[in-house]
Amino acid sequence: MRNISGVDGDSQGSGIMGKKTPRRPLDIIDQQPAASSPAEIAALATCARHGNKPDELLEILHELQEHVGYVPEATLPVIAKALNISRAEVHGVVTFYHDFRREPAGRHVIKICRAEACQSMGTEHLCQHAEQTLGTKLGGTSADGAYTIEAVYCLGNCALSPAILIGDRLFGKVDPIRFDSIVAGLNKEAAE
Amino acid sequence: MITVYVPRDAAALSVGADDVAAAIASQAKAAKKDIRIVRNGSRGMLFLEPLVEVDTPNGRVAYGPVAAGDVADLFSAGFLDGKAHKLGHGLTEKIPYFAKQERLTFARCGITDPLSIEDYRTHGGFDGLTKALSMKGSEIVEEVTTSGLRGRGGAGFPTGIKWKTVHDIKGEQKYIACNADEGDSGTFADRMLMEGDPFCLIEGMTIAAVAVGATKGYIYIRSEYPHAVKVMREAIEIARQTHWLGDDIQGSGKAFELYVRMGAGAYICGEETSMLESIEGKRGIVRFKPPIPAIEGLFGKPTIINNVMSLAAVPIILAKGGAFYRDYGVGRSRGTLAFQIAGNIKQGGLVEKAFGVTTRELIEDWGGGTATGRPVRAVQIGGPLGAYLPPAKFDVPMDYEEFAKADAMVGHGGLVVFDDTVDMAKQARFAMEFCAIESCGKCTPCRIGSMRGVEVIDKIIANDNRDMNLTLLEDLCVTMTDGSLCAMGGLTPMPVMSAVRNFPEDFHKQTANKFIADAAE
C-alpha cells in the first residue's frame, strides 16, 4: 500500500514526538501513527468525535470525505488504528460502497439517475448530453476540474424524472436544456 | 395573518419550491401582507409541485405547479384570499386525485409542519404510542397481528409474527432497525414520509420497542436522501427534548434511543442482513439465514427489522385498533399501500389506497396516461426486481397473492410506466447489468450469473444463435432464482423473464439471418 504522506503508517512503538517508547498494545493512543498530513489529522479527529467506535465507520468516512473531498489512502491506517480494526477491514468498506471516492473529484459532483423511472423519461439521452457538454464520461471529471459526473440508481424523485443531484440539491424534470441552465447556474455561483 | 404552505419535500424542492417560497415572502413584504409561510411535506400530487396552499375560512386552496415567476400574478389575482387563477385547483382536499385516496399512513403528510410536535399532536400523533405505553408488550403484538399488516418493504411477511418472535425471545439487549434504504426505482414513499411526517416513523419504532422490550433503534437511510436524513435527525432531537424518546418516555419508565445511520450508495444494503452489516460499519455483505435477524440480528442480538412503511402504519393501528386497519384491503392483503406512480406518467405521485385497486386504475384514473402522450406499453411494478407487465395484465388487483399468481410482485408498490418507444430487450439487459453493478458478490449465481446474463442478452440482441441463447438465458434465470442467497440475485430473473415472456417480439426483432441484419444497418 502506497503511503502518500511519506510517513510510516505503521508507527507502533514510536511516540508522538518520535521518541521510542515501550509498546503498550492496549493503549490505543500510543498505537496511533503520528498524523502529519491535514487529511490524517482530520481522520483522527473524526474518529475521536465518534468515540473511536468501529460501528460508526461509515459515518466517519462520510464526514472525512465531506471535509477532505475524498478518502485519501494515507488515512486508512490511521482510521484502522483509531478504531482498533484491521487495515483490510477499512479498505474493504471504502471500496465496497459507491459513495466513497479514493481520488479528489471535480468542484461540482453531478449525479445523474440512470434507473428505470428516469430511463422511461430519457435519461440515456441526458447522460450522453452531459458527457458531451462537459467533455467527460460518466465516472470522470472534466479537464478543467470543474465537474465530475456520476451515474446513480434512483434519487427518489421518480414522478419528476429525469432527476439529478448536485451536492445536496435535487433537480427534477431535467432535460438537456434544463441541464445546461443548471450547470450555467453553478458557474454563476462559482463566479460570485 | 394568512398561512401559506410551500412544501419542503425534496421532490417539490427539485422543481423550485425554495424559489417559490422566497418569491412569496418578498412579494408579501412588498404588498405589506402579513403572512406566515409553513414548509409542509408533500400532499403526494407530485405533478402539481410546487403545490402552494393558502389557508382560507373554507379550507386550504391549492395552486400548482407554481413557478417563482407566477407569484406576482398570483398575488394580483388575490390568491391570498383563495381567489381563482389559472393555476388554481380549488380546495386541496376536493381534488379528485387526493379525495379518492384512503390515507391512513399518510394522513398527516402534507398537512402539518413536519417538525412541529404541536401539529403532530393536534392531528392525532402519539395517540398510538400513548395507548401502547399502557399496554403489555404481548397485547401490542396482538394488535399488530390482528391488523394483518405485512412487511411493506416488498416481501410481505406478517409483521405481527416477526414482532412475536422478538417479543418471546429472552435477551438483555434488543434492537429495532428501520430499513429506509429505499433504493428501488419508482419508489419514494419512505422518503416522502420521512420528510413530511417524521414523528410518525419515530412513533412506530417506539411502539415496536415498547412491544418487544428494545431500548435502541437505528434508521438506516440511504445517502441519496440528504433531505430525509436531515429531517429525521432534527425530528429525533425534538422528540428527545420533549421526552417522546430517551430514558423515560413520558414518565412511563420505558427507554428508547434512536439513531440515524446513513448508507453509502450500495443498493444491496436494502437487503435486511446486508443492512445490518452496514449499520455495524462493515461491508454490506449478505448474511446466511438462519439464524434469522429476529433471533440473531444487529450486533448478534434479537432485532426487529421493518420497512419505513410497515413501522409508519403501526401508530394508526394502535390508535384505532387492529380491526380498523384490517377492514381495508382484500384477501390476505390487509390495510392500505402507498402506491407510487412514476416514470413516463402525466400525473405522477403517491396514491395511498386499500389493496384491491388495479394497475389500470392507478395508471389511467390517477396517472392520466403517459407524460409523452403515447400509449402505455409496459409497467414495471415493485422496483428493479419486479416484473414488467403488458396492458393485458393491468386488471390484476393489487394483492400479494394475486400478483404472485401472475408471476409478478406488488413489492413496495412502485409503478414505473413506459410508453411504446421502450425496447424491452434493453430493459432486460439493464436488469442484469444493475445486478452485476450492485451484487455484494457473496454468492456465485448472483455475482457471476448477472455478468453472464448481460453477455447472453447481448448475444440475443445481436441475433447470435438467438434460440439457443434464449434457452440459455432461461436456464441461467432458473439457476439464479433457485441458487442465490438473497432477493437480489433471486429476483433479478423476474424483470428479465417477464420481459421475455410478455414482450417476445422485442427479442425477435431482427431477421434471423445475421448477414441480412448487418447489411440492413
The string of pLDDT tens digits covering residues A19-37 is 444 444 444 444 455 668 9
Q: What pLDDT, on a 0 to 100 scale, did the predictor assign at position B508? A: 84
Among the listed residues B325, B326, B335, B315, the one whose alpha carbon sits nearest the alpha carbon of residue B133: B315
Measured between CA atoms, the residue of chain B closest to residue A58 is B281
- Judge: A120–B418 Cβ closer than 8 Å, yes or no: yes
| Helix A57-68 vs helix A38-49: crossing angle, to nearest 10 | 140
Tell me the C-alpha to C-alpha distance, in Å, between residue B291 and each of B171, B176, B288, B300: 15, 17, 7, 10
Q: Are B122 and B366 in contact (CB under 8 A)?
A: no
Distance separating alpha carbons of residues B185 and B386, to the nearest angstrom: 10
Q: What's the gap in Å between the CA of A34 and the closest CA on chain B?
A: 25
Enumerate the residues of chain B whose CB falls inside 8 A of the CB of residue A158: 185-188, 340, 342-343, 348, 414, 416
ipTM of the complex in this document: 0.94
Q: What's the gap in Å between the CA of B282 and the closest CA on chain A?
A: 6
Helix (H) or strand (E) holding A7: none
Distance separating alpha carbons of residues B338 and B103, to the nearest angstrom: 9
Q: In what order do the strands lie in the sheet with B376-381?
A: B349-354, B336-343, B414-419, B376-381, B388-389
Residue with cell string 452531459: A130
B61: left (phi over 0), alpha (psi -120 to 50) or beta: beta
Tell me which residues of chain A have a pLDDT lower than 50.
1-31
Q: What pLDDT, on a 0 to 100 scale, did the predictor assign at position B163? A: 98
Among the listed residues B228, B285, B297, B302, the one whose alpha carbon sits nearest the alpha carbon of residue B261: B228
Question: Domains along chain B?
Answer: 2-99 (3.40.30.10), 117-326 (3.40.50.11540), 329-419 (3.10.20.600), 424-512 (1.20.1440.230)
Tell me which residues of chain B have a pLDDT lower than 70.
509-521
Q: What 3-state DSSP class applies to B333?
A: strand
Q: What is the 3-state secondary structure (H, E, C) of B435-468?
A: HHHHCCCCCHHHHHHHHHHHHHHHHHHCCCCHHH
- Residue B409 in grid coordinates: 410482485
Q: Are B82 and B386 in contact (CB under 8 A)?
A: no
Q: Which of B8, B14, B45 would you mutate first to test chain A, the one with the most A CBs within 10 A?
A: B14
Q: What pLDDT, on a 0 to 100 scale, did the predictor assign at position A35? A: 66
Tell me the C-alpha to C-alpha distance, in Å, between residue B485 and each of A72, B162, B290, B497: 34, 20, 11, 19
Residue with cell string 454563476: A188
Distance separating alpha carbons of residues B450 and B68, to the nearest angstrom: 46
For chain A, give the number of residues. Answer: 192
A interface toward B at CB cutoff 8 Å? 53-59, 61-62, 89, 92-93, 96-100, 111, 113, 115-121, 152-161, 163, 165, 168-173
Longest dimension (CA), chain B: 80
Question: Domains along chain A?
Answer: 36-104 (1.10.10.1590), 108-191 (3.40.30.10)
Q: What is the CA radius of gyration of chain A?
A: 20
Q: What pLDDT, on a 0 to 100 scale, did the predictor assign at position B516? A: 45
